[in-house]
Amino acid sequence: MDMSPKLAAAAERLFDRHGYMATGMDRLTEAAGMSSRTLYKHAGSKARLMAHVLSRRDRRLMARLEVRTVDALFAALEDWVRVEGARGCLFLRTQAETGGDTPEIAQAVAAHKAGFGQRVAEIVAADLGQADPALAEQILVLFEGATHAAVYRGAGAVTAARAAASVLVESARS
């Protein structure tokens, strides 16, 4: 897909702020400054555009999560919330809105969540010096929960999850 960076950025902003279903193609064309014909030429469909947005966001998030400790993982989430805002996980919100019935979106969400789970497991293993699948699952759930709790509790939810993660890591070390 030949996606204009301006279209991709505008679409991500709108989908993140208003959701997939509430963001119409008229709003997207206006934000991207292009005709609907040009938008469809670049995006193909709204679902393909959303899948592209999710793939773009996955790359950006995963680049931030190039860390070696669980504490740094939560520090990265604190930074993400500060810079990007606290609206919850765009992947899970979009999956919920579409009910998992839009193949392009379901595939993008599944790929992200698999990669994210693997990244968390790698971070836990690097931090402990060995794999610990149970701890990795606990850290993943804390991270996901903090992402969503920050929507209504603010950045303090991430700080609380960071403290809880620290307790879990220290317990696993002893």
Q: pLDDT tens across 63-94, in order?
A: 999 999 999 999 999 999 999 889 999 999 99
> d(Cα 99, Cα 11) in Å, to the nearest integer?
20
C-beta separation of 68 from 47 below 8 A = no
Q: What are the C-alpha distances in Å from 42 to residues 13, 92, 136? A: 17, 25, 39
Give the pLDDT confidence of 106-116 residue by residue, as tens digits: 999 999 999 99
Q: Model-level pTM greater than 0.85?
A: yes
Q: Which of 46, 42, 54, 65 is nearest to 16 (CA)?
A: 54
Render pLDDT for 9-32 as a digit per residue (tens, 0 to 9): 889 999 999 999 999 888 888 888
Q: How confident is the model at residue 163 (pLDDT cuts 50, 70, 90)?
A: very high
Domains of the chain: 55-173 (1.10.357.10)
Q: Does residue 52 contact residue 8 with C-beta atoms inside 8 Å? A: yes
Q: Which residues of 70-104 are buried (b: 16+ CB within 10 A; e: fewer)?
A: bbbbbbbbbebbeeeebebbbbebbbebbeeebeb
Fill in the amino acid letter for 2: D
The whole-number pLDDT of residue 2 equals: 61
Q: In one letter, which amino acid is 130?
A: Q
**Whole-Å CA distances, 27 to 13, 89, 105, 123:** 11, 22, 20, 39
